[in-house]
Amino acid sequence: MAKQPAAVIGIGQTHHRAKREDVSMAGLCREAMDRALEDAGMTLDEIDAIVVGKAPDLFEGVMMPELFLAEALGAAGKPLLRVHTAGSVGGSTAIVAASLVQSGVHKKVLTVAYEKQSESNAMWALSVPVPFNMPVHAGAGGYFAPHVRSYIRRSGAPTHVGAIVAAKDRNNALKNPYAHLHNEGTTVESVMASQMLWDPIRYDETCPSSDGACALVIAAEDVAAASPNPAWIHGTIMRSEATSGAERDQVNPQASRDAAAALWKQAGITSPIDEIDAAEIYVPFSWFEPMWLESLGFAEEGAGWKLTESGATALDGRMPVNCSGGVLSSNPIGASGMLRFGEAALQVRGLAGEHQVDGARKALGHAYGGGSQFFAMWVVGSEKPTN
């Protein structure tokens, strides 16, 4: 049995900021949802089901917040699901929402992912002492820095490649009115001059902490037919690997490689670099761009940094990556994955505005989470899939 065709017909996001003190959690979600519904030309009443995603509840200090949010999100009297798969959650949530349509169970599904980090303190939420575990207190940067060092050692990449990524993404963000950071004048030199936080990751090579939300309206074939510019879903994939395992390669995890291979197969793509016109890849620390380029098959192992260094991943390059400014410019954790999925869809709909890649027809949305162990990805296209 084949999946029913499904398409993204509405996309909305908030203006991401360090503290959105002007809105409650419900207000933040509604800001993104109302934009997505307007884009889809639909009202909340027409929506069949709501899927909510966010990262740990301790980030806001509310247990299962979708319960109290249900009414404000228009879910009362409808089915509501709450997904939580670590940092990949924004992507996983979009995939669950898509599957509600692809299964034929629903026709019009609205999904929203958010994080309002200013309500609590993410560093505290990640540092609660728990029994039977040695506290690391490293935060995400301290956790991933050794993986980056290992990548540099394996690939022989010059040490300024991370700064190239950071300067590119921060400049792309200037073209995205929703981005959290609008740091004018960021250059490779200014990134290299910024404070070293977790060697080799400098301050300007890290993502910010943001309040923000992203929402998508995903519709069945007959509903999407009325949309002037649907982003058709060509493939979705989720893969997870366990935390403990001596053979795990956290620099290029098997779950990531397996997920990419299955995704390209599903989407009928044989050469990602030639067939994907724009990619939104989850890059919370600059070096993850070349690392994921290799893992995803855009470059040979050890050659991802060459693609970055050559300028190929710039907006006007051969393989534009994170034209929106990416996670490096906005990071409402629970929403970050859905922003990648949504920005990919904006590209193939031709609606990305100043950061549009000319003529983009197929795009990748990517998210990862945990200790590089949870992966969610999709391919969207301007044409209905033929496979």
Partner 1 sequence: MRDVAVVGFAQRQMKEFDGSPTCVELLVPLFKECYEQTGWTRKDIGFWCSGSSDYLAGRSFSFVQAVDAIGVTPPVNESHVEMDLAWAMYEAWIKIQTGEVDTALVYAFRKSSAGVLRRTLALQLEPYMMTPLWPDTVSLAGLQARAGLDAGAWDEAAMAEVVNRSLTDAEKNEYAIRKGGSSVEELLARPMYADPLRKHDCAPVTDGAAAIVLAAGDRARDVRERPAWITGLSHYIDPMSMGTRDLTRSPSAAAAAKAAGTDGVEVAELHAPFSHQELILRRELGLGADVAINPSGGALASNPMFSSGGIRVGEAARKIWSGDAATTLGHATSGPALQQNLVCVLADAPNSKVGA
Given the rule CB under 8 A, which residues bind partner 1?
1-4, 24-25, 55-68, 70-71, 75-86, 92, 96, 99-100, 102-105, 119, 125-126, 128, 130-132, 237-245, 247-248, 253-255, 258-259, 370, 373-374
- Beta-carbon contacts of residue 121 (< 8 Å; ≥ 6 apart): none
Query: Alpha helices of 156-247 — where are they, by DSSP H?
Result: 161-173, 188-192, 221-224
| Closer CB to partner 1, 143 or 314, in the complex | 143
- Beta-carbon contacts of residue 258 (< 8 Å; ≥ 6 apart): 239
| Closer CB to partner 1, 66 or 204, in the complex | 66
| Closer CB to partner 1, 244 or 270, in the complex | 244
Q: What's the length of the chain? A: 387
| Closer CB to partner 1, 56 or 350, in the complex | 56
CB 191 within 8 A of CB 150: no
Q: How far is the CB of 96 from partner 1 (least distance, A)?
A: 6
Q: How far is the CB of 346 from partner 1 (least distance, A)?
A: 25
Query: Alpha helices of 103-160 — where are they, by DSSP H?
Result: 122-125, 139-155
Q: How far is the CB of 247 from partner 1 (least distance, A)?
A: 7
CA distance 92 to 98: 10
| Closer CB to partner 1, 61 or 353, in the complex | 61
CA distance 16 to 223: 30
Instruction: Concatenate the DSSP letters of all residues of 294-324 into one string.
Output: HHTTSS-TT-HHHHHHTTTTSTTSSS-B-TT
| Closer CB to partner 1, 162 or 253, in the complex | 253
CA distance 288 to 296: 11
CB 363 within 8 A of CB 276: yes
Q: Which residues are paired to 87 by β-bridges?
A: 85
CA distance 17 to 30: 16
| Torsion angle (degrees, nearest 10) of CA 342, 344, 349, 354 | 100
CB 282 within 8 A of CB 366: yes
CB 9 within 8 A of CB 225: no
| Closer CB to partner 1, 237 or 279, in the complex | 237
| Closer CB to partner 1, 101 or 323, in the complex | 101
| Closer CB to partner 1, 178 or 264, in the complex | 264
What CA–CA distances, in Å, run from 235 to 13, 144, 209, 259, 265?
23, 29, 30, 11, 9
Q: How far is the CB of 244 from partner 1 (least distance, A)?
A: 5
